[in-house]
A and B are shown apart, each in its own frame.
Chain A
Amino acid sequence: MTNTKEHILSLLEQVSDPEIPVLSILDLGIVRDIVCTSDKDVVITITPTYSGCPAMDAIAFDIKLKLIENGFENVNIIYSLSPAWTTDWMSEEGKKKLQSYGIAPPQNMSSRIEKLLFEEESHIKCPRCHSTNTKLLSQFGSTACKALYQCSNCKEPFDYFKCH
């Protein structure tokens, strides 16, 4: 059975976030529990990133597909809201992948202090030229989980995966 669990993890590693295909769902930290009741039956618990993230339904579908393709018969997906997902659950490997994909990875929640009005998270490193001389363009970017920044050094705009 332990082999089965490791096998499932290796399969889940191949399921990626449809919005950010460079990240696997394990990198994102949204897989919370795996319970195999037999070689054919498995219950996977996942937690949403944002309440309205449209990727969740696609992810659940992709998990089922991947496991069924690999011999599982009953794949049950449970959505769990508590404890609420945080970007701190993202793997270090995932953060590196984001950076090289052109999205600045989230800072640690612990290093983040509650921002006052008109203040922004600073020292976000530009994923292209690595300068930290960057500024916020918009708190809301191309998806709910990202903010739009611009590098003041190389002038490129880029997405920042915001702390959550």
Chain B
Amino acid sequence: MDSNQQISKSTNLQINQTLHLADTALILGQRNSDWCAHGPILEQDIAITNITLDLIGQARNFYQYAATLINNAENKNETEDSLAYLRNEREFKNFLICELPNGNWAQTILRQFLFSVYQELLFEKLIACNDQQLSAIAAKSIKETKYHVKWSSEWVIRLGDGTEESKTKMEQAIDEIWMYTGEFFIANDYDIIDVTSIKSKWLEKINEIFEEATLSVPENTFMQSGGKNGIHTEYLGFLLSEMQVLQRTYPGANW
């Protein structure tokens, strides 16, 4: 950016906020899409890929808005595609939990559950925020998220309170990814809503479902963070190289 073309701090925060929401939805969608044709049974394969479609649709809405904000502020020509396909690892602001490998079905289910419960609470707040477009996207998306919460909650119960093996796998999944949930509630300078304020409601819901699933919420564990600021796990680079290879190799390709 030219030094004489400084964009205002508030616009910059607004752009970063929108990119954080977009990246989070896109990266989780990209991960979940790996289940396509690999789900445990056909109906659940279709379920997880439909959830993926919702997430990618949400990401598109956020990216389109981010592109408008950037182009208005900086005289650039960004599009939803350039933002998704042509930014580097450090520019992505998604939560770390989204970029983790899928693991087994239990781990995928658990991540979707922990994330969707958070996303529903976040969208409830975003609907009431003073950014009209973010509010509109949230109001649209929350209807989809409610289905994701219901579906993933039922699976957490089914597996947790299932067989010895399914319970063990859920417990291993909790050990593996719980430490990535702390980041949901760490405030960042670009947050338009107070994310710390939804933590107690989130925990309440997780506790309620875990209790029914005969699972326990870990206490006082170390929490990993960094994604919101572009500091990622080693997994994101590999994910991006696969997701972006076509546009990187044949710039502007479309069909």
Contact = CB atoms under 8 A, between A and B. Distances in A.
B118 to A, nearest CB: 18
B232 interface: no
A20 interface: no
Contacts of B47: 138-140
A42 interface: no
Contacts of A84: 136, 139-140, 143
A106 interface: no
A158 to B, nearest CB: 14
Contact of B61 (A51, A115, A138): A51
Nearest to A52: B57
A3 interface: no
A39 B54 CA distance: 38
A164 interface: yes
A140 B50 contact: yes
Contacts of A118: 154
Interface size class of A (residues with CB under 8 A): 20 to 34
Interface size class of B (residues with CB under 8 A): 20 to 34
A50 B54 contact: yes
A23 B168 CA distance: 47
B225 interface: no
Contacts of B144: 50-51, 144
A52 to B, nearest CB: 3
Of A48, A52, A137, the most chain B CB neighbours within 10 A belong to A52
Interface in A3-56: 48, 50-54
Given A51-B144, A82-B139, A117 B60 contact: no
A119 to B, nearest CB: 9
Interface string A70-100: 0000000000011111000000000000000
A147 to B, nearest CB: 9
Nearest to B133: A81
A52 B140 contact: no
A148 to B, nearest CB: 7
A2 interface: no
Given A51-B60, A137-B43, 15 more contacts: A50-B53, A50-B57, A51-B57, A51-B141, A51-B144, A52-B54, A53-B57, A54-B53, A81-B61, A83-B139, A117-B153, A138-B46, A140-B43, A140-B50, A148-B43
Interface of B: 43-44, 46-47, 50-51, 53-58, 60-61, 132-133, 135-137, 139-141, 143-144, 147, 150-151, 153-154, 157, 212
Interface of A: 48, 50-54, 81-85, 115, 117-118, 137-144, 148, 164
